[in-house]
Structure 1
Amino acid sequence: MAWITCDFYSETLQLSTSMEVFLPQGSLMPLRSSSKLPVLYLLHGRGADHTEWMRRSSIERYAESKGLALVMPGFGRSYYMDMANGLPYFTYLSEELPKLVRTFFPVSGRREDTFVAGISMGGYGAFKLALSYPERYAAGASLSGGLDLASRAAGAGFQESEIRTIFGRVENVRGSRDDLLFLAAEFAAYTGNKPMLYQCCGTEDFLYKDNQTFRRYADSLGIHITYEEEPGGHEWGYWDNKIQRVLDWLPLP
């Protein structure tokens, strides 16, 4: 695969930012009817950056034979939100970034070729995208995601300064478009084609309870999720193994 570090200017964020991109080489790609590549957006965890996936996992090796472009953007500690007292990161993620990626690289804009996955904070971001825009994504995967954000914000999950910066007030989260439980109810009522959803979490992970809460609520709404759990913590040994499962699960043509 070709590895590209792409530095560019975001009009939405009004700043320069970066993403890592892996593109498959032609000799290793499966034959496809389209010249455009399917694309997987890989979202990093809290406190990390756009280099996390390539530094901590063997994602390049796992994806090499899939004919799949990988896009790994940077989002700091934003929790993939339009922050109350910060930058509009979710607007950037959902609107500007995909357009830039399609401008810079030979990736498909078709829903059936577009996927998103993430770990921890990025698992939240991946499900937020898939639930918010089911018409744009064919699959979304959360690996140990922070899926019950309202409870975490009200508990010990965030520093007071982060709450003010990201949410404004804790009370602003529950029932908002940043609350995955709220989005899940909208998603359940959506009558168009829904993206496939994959969720996993280790049973020793501090976010295991959050994952159980989201899973039970989604199940009560009739939302189908491919769910897996096994012993494991909040660490890269677990995620490096599970991302291989995600790549095999993706509905690639």
Structure 2
Amino acid sequence: MNTVKTNIVLLLIGFILILSACSEDKEPELVITDNVSLLSDQTINSTVLGQTMKFNIILPNDYYTNTNRYYPVLYLFHGMGGNNNDWATHGNAKQLFQDAFKNEVLAPMIVVMPDAFNTFYVDGYQNGLKYESYFWEEFLPSIEREYRVDAKRENRFIAGLSMGGFGASYYAFTYPDKFTYCYSMSGAVEGIGSDSTPSIADIIKAYKSFGDLPGYTMDCGTSDPLVFTSNQSVHAKLLDAGFDHEYIEREGVHDWVFWRKALEMALERIGQYTN
């Protein structure tokens, strides 16, 4: 009896070893589940700003199982008076990305939601804070070092609402070698009139050619009392300059109902690059 048991055990061990050898060189299987990971209030100690900064991050369904996989990244900006939690608490971001991954609207990606206070994402706008310097010198390098980001231009995207729509557009066209596509939602695209917050149209028109600039969508509600007129103005100037972009006018105001739909629309467009 002991000999029989021993033989069975040896056969099972051999079978397991054969299976392991056969699968050893295969790529990790993409596991689609109904869950993405939302990590809230993560921190970075900033030397540039002299304080601890927060961010939220969404990791795709298979991030912890496909440990050899690197992912596209979307930087998603909040508006004036908001913070890194806005897109999670008001924008339903976790569910929207979860559905988009599951329904293959876009390929699994990493989503980063930083806290920018009311800085307009530039240096000097709020109490002298050098937010733009912080973002480029510390924040983005830290994110793309600590998480498995595929940090090529064609896999880096940016979007934002209101003040964040300005910030996303400003970064996309001030650093056009860093992003492949930008989606502005009710963006303050005419800026605030200072050197550090110029009109996005002026930034784009300053280029001699537009061939290497990121793709661009401007999306604004027709009943938005804050930025509808400025979006129309920037759109007209970009048309005059011959800059190819997408301009969307639809019913809506400056609120989360509009921005949640805007994020859905942004994911559909980003999916055209990632799928």
Determine if the TM-score, normalized by the shorter chain, exceeds 0.5.
yes
TM-aligned CA deviation for residue 113 of structure 1? 0.5
- 2:252 is the counterpart of 1:232: yes
TM-aligned CA deviation for residue 120 of structure 1? 0.3
- 2:237 is the counterpart of 1:195: no
Aligned length in residues: 226
Counterpart Cα distance in 2 of 1:133 and 1:199: 18
TM-aligned CA deviation for residue 195 of structure 1? 0.8
Larger radius of gyration: 2
Corresponding position of 1:37: 71
Q: Residue type of the partner of 2:61?
A: Q
Counterpart Cα distance in 2 of 1:202 and 1:211: 10
Identical-pair percentage: 26
Tell me, what secondary structure is at the counterpart of 1:21? strand
Q: CA RMSD in A?
A: 2.0
Tell me if the contact between 2:124 and 2:196 (Cα under 8 Å) persists in the aligned partners: no
From 157, 174, 177, give the equivalent of 1:115: 157
Corresponding position of 2:235: 215
Tell me, what secondary structure is at the counterpart of 1:219? helix
Q: Which runs of 5+ in 2 are unaligned?
A: 1-35, 102-106
From 134, 138, 147, give the equivalent of 2:189: 147
Corresponding position of 1:82: 123
Deviation digits for residues 60-93 of structure 1 (CA, Å, limit 9, x no counterpart): 1222213011100001111111015411011222
Counterpart Cα distance in 1 of 2:148 and 2:136: 19
Counterpart Cα distance in 1 of 2:134 and 2:239: 30
Q: Which runs of 5+ in 1 are unaligned?
A: 154-172
Single out whichever of 58-67 and 193-202 deviates more from structure 2: 58-67
Counterpart Cα distance in 1 of 2:63 and 2:152: 23
> After TM superposition, which residue ranges in structure 1, 4 or more long, deviate above 6 angstroms?
none
Corresponding position of 2:54: 18
Tell me if the contact between 2:110 and 2:149 (Cα under 8 Å) persists in the aligned partners: yes
Corresponding position of 2:30: none
- 2:271 is the counterpart of 1:252: no
Tell me, what secondary structure is at the counterpart of 2:274? coil
Tell me, what secondary structure is at the counterpart of 1:82? coil
Counterpart Cα distance in 2 of 1:216 and 1:62: 32
Q: Residue type of the partner of 1:4?
A: L
Q: Residue type of the partner of 2:123?
A: D
Q: Residue type of the partner of 2:172?
A: A
TM-aligned CA deviation for residue 22 of structure 1? 0.4
Tell me, what secondary structure is at the counterpart of 1:193? coil
